[in-house]
């Protein structure tokens, strides 16, 4: 049964001609509301009301906890994808430990000529350069500090876009790996003027996050979360200037102490002959390779590979990942570590037990997982047996577990990692990868695991 508030909310959105976003989803994404994917939260629950009040306070509304039209209108406003109360990749105060930052524009929007995009992005960086004393240099290197890209829906960073309106863009705070990277939803209409969404305004806002700033409650601030079509010639408010200057005031250094880098980078030898992986998952247009507490991210259409400790990309994941898979139609990632599962926007969900999938109590870990898009089944491998989970019905299929060697001829040892792509399952067995034809049930190729990282 649809709750009354849902009906009036949808009617309101229909009258206003805007796309409807569920209030729970809004509060979950931007205000850290704990969201149970199996049971929808009632509007009368104290935790829901508390988050509504928190959101109303942030935007200067009457903090009643009631979803009144003014509150709903703010929820429907196009905005930045970074949360208002808890950064999903950084906290206020993080900063780059250098004064010259490089940036690279990867994928361009279809709405503007490349030269126009180049000019607008440069202008957006200049807004902060004038206020902070930082220097921004464009480069063609895949190792640029800040990667700028126009993408759609799931695009390999656990934060999929939602189509037109809604979330316009998001950026990660300073750091290794995805640190500084800025993504724009290419399902929006980008422009250099008042039509659609002004790229200069949105880019300048997102670059504020890339430099370490959080959202502001001041509607005059560039760092205000919702989009404003018209701004004065000087995009930064006094508050913005004060915040960026405070963040990048030159650090006082004790000359008697040796200097140490703020963000040490412990590289791993990806081309070692015994290289193998603990877990692999394809998320959107990127493939994630996990080993111990380290991660490589390879964008499928590009040659560059980002790498670093898992915590650089997912701050709340502090353990190794044993298995991982991605459900494209739900844009949901599952990371399994021991007997626990993190799901959804992985850095904000509390881990759950493996019993979430219906495993018997004696199953305390799994070796590998793979989601078969065609059948909508997720396969869980452990030692020499495996289970099949029905993602539609949310139950284990009858007759499992079954023998791996019976159903996957040629796969006769423990599976370290696996993922599915274009009707093939790639089984990572130690330092080798077996390409398995899922339709004909046969191995059709073997290669080394690190070949996937360009070795």
What is the C-alpha to C-alpha distance for residues 2 and 7, in angstroms, rounded to an integer?
7
Residue 257: partners with Cβ closer than 8 Å, 6 or more residues away: none
Residue with tokens 């670093």: 308
* Dihedral sign of CA atoms 258, 261, 262, 268 in order: negative
What is the C-alpha to C-alpha distance for residues 31 and 29, in angstroms, rounded to an integer?
6
Tell me which residues are annotated as active site: 206
Sequence ranges of the binding site for Ca(2+): 111, 145, 162-163, 179, 181, 185-186, 188, 278, 280, 322, 324
Classified as helix, coil or strand, 368 is strand
DSSP 8-state class, residue 391: T
CB 205, CB 80: distance < 8 Å: yes
What is the C-alpha to C-alpha distance for residues 51 and 64, in angstroms, rounded to an integer?
11
CB atoms within 10 A of CB 323: 27
DSSP 8-state class, residue 451: G
The two tokens of residue 346 are 């992985």
Classified as helix, coil or strand, 306 is strand
What is the C-alpha to C-alpha distance for residues 167 and 81, in angstroms, rounded to an integer?
5
What is the C-alpha to C-alpha distance for residues 79 and 62, in angstroms, rounded to an integer?
21
Q: Which residues pair with 290 in a beta bridge?
A: 279, 295
Sequence ranges of the binding site: 80, 111, 145, 155, 157, 162-163, 170, 179, 181, 183, 185-186, 188, 205, 209, 215, 223, 278, 280, 322, 324
| DSSP β-ladder status, 146-151 and 100-105 | parallel
Phi, psi torsion values for 37, nearest 5 degrees: -70, -15
Compute CA distances 323 → 221, 223, 340, 380, whole Å: 43, 37, 11, 9
Sequence ranges of the binding site for Zn(2+): 80, 155, 157, 170, 183, 205, 209, 215, 223
DSSP 8-state class, residue 173: P
CB 172, CB 178: distance < 8 Å: yes
What is the C-alpha to C-alpha distance for residues 377 and 370, in angstroms, rounded to an integer?
9
Q: Is 231 exposed, middle or buried (0-12, 13-18, 19+ CB in 10 A)?
A: middle
Compute CA distances 119 → 113, 126, 190, 200, whole Å: 10, 10, 14, 9
Residue with tokens 């399902």: 187
Residue with tokens 């109303």: 56
């Amino acid at each position: 049964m649809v709750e009354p508030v849902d009906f009036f909310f949808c009617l309101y959105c229909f009258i206003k001609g805007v796309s409807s976003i569920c209030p729970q989803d809004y509060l979950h994404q931007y205000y850290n509301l704990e969201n149970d994917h199996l049971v929808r939260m009632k509007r009368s629950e104290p935790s829901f009301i508390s988050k509504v009040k928190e959101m109303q306070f942030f935007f200067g509304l009457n903090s009643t906890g009631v979803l009144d039209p003014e509150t709903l209108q703010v929820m429907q406003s196009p905005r930045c994808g970074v949360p208002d109360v808890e950064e999903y990749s950084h906290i206020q105060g993080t900063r780059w430990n250098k004064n010259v930052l490089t940036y690279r524009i990867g994928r361009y929007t279809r709405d503007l000529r490349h030269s126009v995009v180049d000019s607008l992005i440069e202008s957006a960086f200049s807004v902060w350069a004038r206020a902070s004393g930082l220097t921004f240099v464009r480069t063609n290197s895949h190792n640029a500090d800040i990667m700028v890209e126009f993408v759609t829906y799931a695009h390999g960073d656990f934060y999929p876009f939602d189509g037109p309106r809604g979330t316009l863009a998001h950026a990660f705070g300073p750091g290794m790996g995805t640190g500084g990277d800025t993504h724009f939803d290419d399902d929006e209409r980008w422009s250099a003027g008042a039509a659609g969404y002004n790229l200069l305004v949105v880019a300048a806002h997102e670059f504020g996050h890339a430099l370490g700033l959080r959202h502001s409650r001041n509607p005059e601030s560039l760092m205000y979360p919702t989009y404003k079509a018209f701004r004065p010639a000087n995009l930064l408010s006094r508050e913005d200037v004060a915040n960026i200057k405070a963040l990048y005031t030159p650090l006082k250094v004790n000359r008697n102490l040796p200097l140490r880098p703020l963000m040490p980078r412990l590289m791993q030898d990806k081309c070692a002959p015994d290289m193998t992986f603990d877990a692999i998952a394809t998320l959107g247009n990127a493939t994630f390779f996990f080993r111990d507490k380290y991660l490589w991210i390879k964008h499928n259409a590009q040659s560059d590979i980002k790498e670093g400790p898992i915590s650089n990309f997912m701050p709340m994941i502090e353990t190794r990942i044993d298995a991982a898979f991605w459900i494209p139609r739900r844009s949901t990632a599952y990371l399994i570590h021991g007997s626990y599962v993190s799901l959804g926007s992985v850095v904000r969900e509390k881990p759950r037990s493996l019993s979430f999938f219906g495993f018997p109590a004696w199953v305390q870990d799994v070796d590998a997982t793979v989601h078969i898009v065609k059948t909508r089944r997720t396969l869980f491998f452990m030692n020499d047996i495996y289970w099949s989970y029905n993602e539609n019905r949310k139950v284990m299929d009858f007759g499992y577990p079954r023998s791996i060697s019976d159903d996957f001829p040629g796969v006769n040892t423990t599976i370290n990692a696996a993922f599915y792509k274009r009707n093939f399952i790639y089984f990572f067995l130690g330092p080798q990868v077996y390409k398995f034809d899922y339709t004909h049930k046969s191995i059709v190729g073997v290669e080394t695991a690190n070949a996937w990282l360009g070795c």
